[in-house]
A and B are shown apart, each in its own frame.
Chain A
Amino acid sequence: MRAVHDEFHGDLMEVSMGPHHPSTHGVFRMNVVLDGERIVKLKPVFGYLHRNHEKLGEGMTWLASMPFTDRLDYLCAMTNNWAYALAVERLTGLQPPERAEYIRVVLAELTRLLNHTCLAGFLLQDTGAMGTPLMYAFREREKILDLFEALSGSRMMCNYQRFGGCRVDVSPAWLAAARKVVDAYPRFLDEFEALVTGNEIVMARTQGVGRVAPELAVAAGVTGPMLRACGVDYDIRKVDGYGLYPRFHFRVPLGDHGDTYDRYMIRVLEMRESIGILKQAIDGIPDGPILDPKAKGRGLRPPAGEAYGRIEGPKGEIGFFLVSDGTPNPSRYRVRAPSFVNLTILEDMCLGHTVADAVVILGSIDIVLGEVDR
């Protein structure tokens, strides 16, 4: 913290928020210049969790990177796995069987539920509702984690997808359990929304805070719920139609104002759409193999070439850019992390607001530092 003198504003205060700060969702740091309580400048500082994911990925085999992708966005291991598997499948030409694609959709949508639920809890924690909303959110999270654990053996770090399919098959009992969780989810959402959505304090803290113009969002490469909260209709599930998403009926909710409240509402609405997809997928899952017979785990050597594979993760477009030179290791392994790019417009969103609002705005971007810094 230090005083800064500015010809125009007079005496300003520069405050370093983070890397240890209770509301920065990890080890994120913002250098904020304040005029009184108003933010006149904000510079994010990254790298406090830069664990060299890409460098390590280039030093190990293709399959060995799969468990590392779990740790990118540690709330959404399944979607990270899928994005990586998808990129390698593009690179090698493998084709997952239909059952595997269904399982992937189920797991990805469960992950979306999990991520958005946690985000809602954390966002309310940031507005000052300490404890209670997060307790509700984590209660639901545990139910989904139980499903992941039953299937993959691990709560958070699932390491489940394989190139050309999945690692283990789902059992009818697992599907029944998943269906039970999915069926109970709307009740939780209703309960949560009754507490939060119409709450006057929540509305006062979030409406009109951190507005983003759609033009700016598109230019800055913002993706995911943040982009759709600005009213831009761009959902990779619809645009690319990867996996089997074209088979499922769902709508893409869009916001009007691009403010923090819209970003919260978009996530709630997306969860309701995800529940619809889950019901269709769990009911329609066909029998069959779960792995492409040509698939190879260890000793995979994709032909020389490169591929960019992307999916609609819960936070936005998560993409993997892979270059192979025909050896057992990737020669370039790059992760396009959604929350890293989404942070580009953090300063634009926060200017003119108070410090307390910056905390809420940051919460609504939904960052995970494992992915921002990689």
Chain B
Amino acid sequence: MTTPSLEQIRDRILAAVPAAEASLVNNPGPAAQHSLLIDRAHLVEVARFLRDDPELRLDYCSNVTGIDQPEREVVDKVRRKVPAPDGSGEREVEEKVKRIEPGFLEVVYHLFSMARKHGPVVLRVRTGDRAGDASVPSLTPVWRACEFQEREVFDLFGIVFTGHPNLRRILMWDAFVGHPMRKDYVEPDDYEWEPTPHDAVLERVKARQAVASTPEEGPTT
């Protein structure tokens, strides 16, 4: 059975949950698995609709994962009209404009339907703030399948799922500080020097020891 197009799904969502904001996120690659970006406030309502809607029946939440997109510099090509230097009218020039795209944390849900055997429908929800209020509503009450996977996203990305029944670290130990899958995570020092990728680690160790100023035995050069 073919999946209804995302535009149709979005229209159905907007008809059922009028307050929700649902926008299409285009996937430019050959996979063409486009997705729906839902606002945080109405995520649970939308999810429940998608699960219960007799036409969609997305009863199976396969994959839940986080994405950390750090702040990045994007170069846009902009065409602009400038007066020609010789004064004969206008000329079109292409300019490269740099802009800073803010970073975000994102949770992606891959939904399928076991009843009607279609899918995937990809839901995304974003939290703009990477430091403080990185929280999204939990979908565990809608799909049990999210329970451990959301805990994993919390553990590794630091996204707080409000309404999760048991939000604790799952893979790392409880006393662990930090969220290792974030792009800006700094790993603990490695005390073995090897010629290639560990050089950066060694520099870090040296810098840290210089700050500590009490060189003990260990990695020194």
Direct contact between the two chains A and B in their complex (CB within 8 A): yes
CB-CB under 8 A for A50 and B171, given A234-B117, A323-B67, A343-B148:
yes
Kindly list chain A residues whose C-beta atoms are within 8 Å of the C-beta of B59.
Answer: 218-219
- Which of B11-19, B24-32, B40-48, B83-91 forms contacts with chain A? B24-32
Check if B62 sits within 8 Å of A317, measured CB to CB.
Answer: yes
Per-residue B-contact encoding for A67-105, CB less than 8 Å = 1, 0 else: 000000000000000000000001111000000000000
Asked if A91 and B148 sit within 8 Å, CB to CB, the answer is no
A116 within 8 A of B: no
Are B31 and A91 neighbours in the complex by a CB distance under 8 Å? yes
The one of B114, B144, B147, B172 in contact with A234, judged by C-beta atoms closer than 8 angstroms, is: B114
Q: Does A273 contact B (CB under 8 A)?
A: no
Are B30 and A92 neighbours in the complex by a CB distance under 8 Å? yes
A contact residues around B27 at 8 Å (CB): 305-306
Chain A: which residue is nearest B68 at the CB level?
A332
CB pair A221 B170 closer than 8 Å: no
Asked if B160 is at the interface of the complex by the 8 Å CB criterion, the answer is no
Contact across chains for B30 and A93 when beta carbons are under 8 A apart: yes
| B-chain residues with CB within 8 Å of residue A218 when the two chains form the complex | 59-60, 114
Assess A308 versus B171: contact at CB under 8 Å? Given A221-B145, A344-B148. Answer: no
0/1 interface trace, chain B 158-175, chain A, CB 8 Å (1 if under): 000000000001111100
Nearest-CB distance from B175 to chain A (Å)?
13
Give 1 or 0 for each of B138-158: 1 = CB within 8 Å of chain A CB: 000001110111000000100
The interface size of chain B toward A, counting residues with CB under 8 Å, comes to 33
Inter-chain contact A216/B62, CB cutoff 8 Å: no
- Residue in B33, B122, B148, B169 whose CB lies within 8 Å of A341: B148
Closest A residue to B144 by beta carbon equals A220
- Interface centre among A54, A218, A324, by most B CB within 10 Å? A218
* A222, A319, A332, most chain B CB atoms within 10 A: A332
Asked if B125 is at the interface of the complex by the 8 Å CB criterion, the answer is no
Residues of A contacting B169 with CB < 8 Å? 47
Which residues 290-339 of A have a CB within 8 angstroms of B? Answer: 302-308, 310, 317, 319, 321, 323-324, 332, 334, 336
Q: Is B120 within 8 A of A308, CB to CB? A: yes
> Which residues of A line the B interface, CB within 8 A?
46-47, 50, 52, 54-55, 90-93, 216, 218-223, 232, 234, 239, 302-308, 310, 317, 319, 321, 323-324, 332, 334, 336, 340-341, 343-345, 373-374
Binding site for A on B (CB under 8 A): 27-31, 33, 59-63, 65, 67, 108, 110, 114, 117, 120, 122, 143-145, 147-149, 156, 169-173, 180-181
13 residue pairs from A and B, CB less than 8 Å apart: A47-B169, A52-B180, A91-B30, A303-B30, A304-B29, A305-B30, A306-B31, A308-B63, A319-B62, A324-B29, A336-B62, A340-B149, A341-B149
Known: A334-B65, A341-B149. 6 other contacts (CB 8 A): A93-B29, A219-B143, A305-B27, A321-B63, A321-B110, A341-B145
